[in-house]
Chain A
Amino acid sequence: MHSICSQATAVPRSNFAFDSHAPALPTSKPINLRFCGLRKEAFGFSGLTHSCSSRVRFTSRGHSKRISASAENNGTPPKSFDYDLIIIGAGVGGHGAALHAVEKGLKTAIIEGDVVGGTCVNRGCVPSKALLAVSGKMRELQSEHHMKALGLQVSAAGYDRQGVADHANNLASKIRSNLTNSMKALGVDILTGFGTVVGPQKVKYGKVGFPDNIVTAKDIIIATGSVPFVPKGIEVDGKTVITSDHALKLESVPDWIAIVGSGYIGLEFSDVYTALGSEVTFIEALDQLMPGFDPEIGKLAQRVLINPRKIDYHTGVFATKITPAKDGKPVTIELIDAKTKEPKDTLEVDAALIATGRAPFTNGLGLENINVETQRGFVPVDERMRVIDANGNLVPHLYCIGDANGKMMLAHAASAQGISVVEQVTGRDHVLNHLSIPAACFTHPEISMVGLTEPQAREKAEKEGFEVSVAKTSFKANTKALAENEGEGIAKLIYRPDNGEILGVHIFGLHAADLIHEASNAIALGTRIQDIKFAVHAHPTLSEVLDELFKSAKVKATALSHVPVSEPVAV
């Protein structure tokens, strides 16, 4: 599995989150088309100077013509195909697609060579949330100041490493069986083995040492996901030099661990390890920690998540060589300056966690059989997840979703892409608005975001000639946050004062990951600030942080003539 790592290049996960929209632009003619096919009455739109709704409707019709090839066959029962839809890879993306396909009446099969659930459930988001739940509780119990302020007395908190590890493992098994059962209950065929595309609409699968089975399907979705990326020169032994795959098993809690990469994965693990008593050294190639985050949020996060903790960091350096501990020697890490390439330092630590991003797992998929060339391992796709071959043409009936296409390496993005594909193959055109997909980092407190960062928004504004405003609210003023004695945090809204469009929302504070959805839904549905500010929030709740945020935005009077989305209903 690691063999493909050497071919791929490291790209921090967070980069995808925001670059992802760019590749979609050249292929869709109206430059900034953003709509959500699920709710046609609520088109969101960030157009230039054209009038709004008519243009969107027009272009959406244009798109359905372009995909007519795949839509034609819909409704007629497959004559010669085994399935309507085959999904290669039963991770969160494949699972989401399978469930939606069944709902749409498609005969669906899913091929999995490893365990159902993929990275997220087995080696990613799910077990890490179990560890982070533990670290959050440890943090509370360890904070004498915090406890005292609440009037609580707790004697020294301790933990049992194996117990914590078991909790993470049990959670993964439970979610895995839930996922498996939900697919079985709906009648999705789970085929075991590695899937390979052997030709158009044809897939073979099988285990090593067994004869291959060939199945055909009208449409095929590749959803093979990714594996941890390990840069050259780093020797992973699984004990003292580890990736997230090993770290989630929590086989040891080193006294001192270096974390290479300060993106989501690195940051979350720093939260876990420091709560369990380790000291942490970050190694970041860019000049600043947390490069993917909005700079202001990153700065605040650093003040809260890094500076007061037992963490130090080296920025602007590459780890060129990491040697595991052996023969009575500690783990050694050789650092060079990221710009000058001069040797800078050698670190000696007890363990190193490689969190430099993830590499697509696309080797052995048989893409050469259909003339598709991967780019740094990623499968090239258009904005509808249709696979593009080496000549730049669309491959009919073949789609790729999730980490394997690299658009946005998040589990829920993969699932959304899968649903989007199913919508298309069942005759409804659909383009996913990636800017409406939220992302979260489950540190204590959490960080979440949707849409553009402030620099991205300002760059776009300059290019397209509109104005950008920023509104901020603090958790310090929120009753619920103060009741929890967790007033640290801010929410930040980036918007257009001329029409009230939400460009991005960033939250750092208690339960930020749960709070972001009001903003991401607003972006997905095209709700404007002048409308959402009238929505009522229960008091006292953390959601009032966002309520206050929307209310504090200053939308120009000209935009306010807009009629609210729904008519008032008398009760």
Chain B
Amino acid sequence: MASPFLSNSTISFSSSLKSSTLPRLFPSVSFSSIRFKPTPRRILTVRSKIREIFMPALSSTMTEGKIVSWVKSEGDVLSKGESVVVVESDKADMDVETFYDGILAAIVVGEGETAPVGAAIGILAETEDEIAEAKAKAASNSGASAPSAPPPPPAPAAGSTPAPPNSTPAYAAPIASEGLRKTVATPYAKKLAKQHKVDTESVVGTGPYGRITPEDIEAAAGILPSKTNVGPVVVVEVKPAAPTKATSDSSAPSSIPPPVPGSTVVPFTTMQTAVSKNMVESISVPTFRVGYPVTTDALDALYEKVKPKGVTMTALLAKAAAMALVQHPVVNASCKDGKSFSYNSNINIAIAVAINGGLITPVLQDADKLDLYLLSQKWKELVEKARAKQLQPQEYNSGTFTLSNLGMFGVDKFDAILPPGQGAIMAVGASKPTVVADADGFFSLKNKMLVNVTADHRIIYGADLAAFLQTFSKIVENPGSLTL
């Protein structure tokens, strides 16, 4: 039985146990009289009035203990024999008493944290004058002598967390724009956060009503979602909980081909899970595509003019799309139940952005109403927030129409998948010089850009989309109205 006192020279305080609280497993004689006898030392006359409270060894097999609760709080006056702290060993919870009168100056190891046997868990000062000194000591202690007493949970460093907790609209549902909300985390999410030292304030929830789910914490902590059957239960009436579905799929082993030898399996991050779920969900929507060539010479000229004022091409395209949508509200609508049109009162343009191995769609709200400069400014903010993973749910899942632009990569034409909950998405290719012949047979060189819109055919028909694209094309070809 190693004495906890050997490790530190300033000790003169330790803990004892109430024999009445001892489980029968431990003969009650061993504690107070033998091991926990205070051993004051003469050389410590100066500092002996500040005493450390140690993690006691509550059983012969105990190597570390967890603080269940502090009975006393900092600043409380203690008298000899009073319970100060409740410690959980590998066997039971025990009250730990003080051997000295004094003031609990500082708590070094907080509730719920663990410390090895013999480590200082609190500091006791004899008088009020010594509290400051004791606190300083506590500060140095928490860094040095109590290795497993963790410092306050650090905000996850941006680089080290693999999974940005932001997510594409997994729950398009009712996140009303109520401004700032307090952080809501489920009981298990809180437990996991404590266990993995994740600060819930730094996590963006993807659960219902924007709450933080256990999966969000696991993603933030960079651990695999627990895939044991302890975890999510296979509920037959599955609600939109992505991992649950994953479990139910994996429970049918025959449908999964054996892995190629040597391959590595990297589980999805929360964001990737949400993307995957949305993509699979999109299969249930009958979509069709209509392409349209748009001449961009006038737009390019305008862009050159307004670029110094901070306007981006993305903002120009978003504005143009929004203005076209004003005239074609059905393209801004969505089909929620397969039986009706849901017309949106706002035109919110979501724009797909690739970020850290994920995909997110920050939303320019009321893009038809805001002017170009405000939109550009807003977009800059959104992108910064997205990079810092600070987008609020309504900033990435309130879109009514999506814009995806791969033109900067030289892509001339591509096909986008319609995100669930929206009626249409526009895929924009690169603008390229093209030889065109006019009605009189004269050839000329124009910049042409191919746009391709994917839409939900339950509500948007071919003619609707064609008319919308015609309007969009006119706006882009006569872009003067964009700056109004």
What is A's interface to B at a CB cutoff of 8 Å? 138, 141-144, 154-161, 253, 255-256, 276-277, 279-281, 299, 303, 310-312, 328-330, 348, 350, 472, 474
Contact = CB atoms under 8 A, between A and B. Distances in A.
Contacts of A158: 233-236, 248, 251
Contacts of A330: 208-209
A350 B208 contact: yes
Interface string B243-277: 00001101100000000000000000000000000
Nearest to B250: A156
B368 to A, nearest CB: 25
A116 B211 CA distance: 44
Interface string B385-398: 00000000000000
A253 B233 CA distance: 11
A172 to B, nearest CB: 22
Contacts of B229: 141-142, 144, 154-157
Interface in B213-257: 214, 228-230, 232-237, 239, 241, 247-248, 250-251
Interface stretch (B113-121, B185-193, B462-470): B185-193
A193 B188 CA distance: 48
B429 to A, nearest CB: 38
B383 interface: no
Task: Classify the secondary structure of B's interface with A.
Answer: loop
B184 interface: yes
Given A143-B230, A329-B174, 18 more contacts: A144-B229, A144-B230, A156-B234, A156-B248, A157-B229, A158-B234, A159-B235, A161-B236, A255-B207, A277-B233, A279-B187, A280-B187, A281-B187, A311-B187, A330-B208, A330-B209, A350-B208, A474-B24
Contacts of A154: 229
Interface-central residue, A143, A156, A312, A330, by most chain B CB under 10 Å: A156
Contacts of A143: 230
B93 interface: yes
A310 B248 CA distance: 21
B176 interface: yes
A474 B237 CA distance: 41
24 contacts: A143-B230, A144-B230, A154-B229, A155-B229, A156-B229, A156-B248, A156-B250, A157-B234, A158-B235, A158-B236, A158-B248, A159-B236, A253-B235, A255-B241, A277-B235, A279-B187, A299-B93, A310-B186, A311-B187, A312-B187, A312-B191, A328-B174, A329-B174, A350-B208
B207 to A, nearest CB: 8
A344 to B, nearest CB: 13
Interface of B: 23-25, 93, 173-174, 176, 184, 186-188, 190-191, 207-209, 211, 214, 228-230, 232-237, 239, 241, 247-248, 250-251
A255 B233 CA distance: 11
Nearest to A303: B93
A162 to B, nearest CB: 8
A443 to B, nearest CB: 17
Contacts of B236: 158-161
A472 B20 CA distance: 12
Contacts of B176: 328
A348 B212 CA distance: 12
A158 B232 CA distance: 10
A303 B230 CA distance: 18
A339 to B, nearest CB: 17
A303 B92 CA distance: 9
Contacts of A156: 229, 234, 247-248, 250-251
Nearest to A299: B93
B247 to A, nearest CB: 6
Contacts of B248: 156, 158
Contacts of A160: 236
Contact of B187 (A142, A310, A348): A310
B235 A256 contact: no
B83 to A, nearest CB: 14
Nearest to B239: A255
A570 to B, nearest CB: 38
A279 B230 contact: no
Nearest to B187: A312
A467 to B, nearest CB: 14
A141 B250 CA distance: 17
B211 A348 contact: yes
A145 to B, nearest CB: 8
A350 B176 CA distance: 17
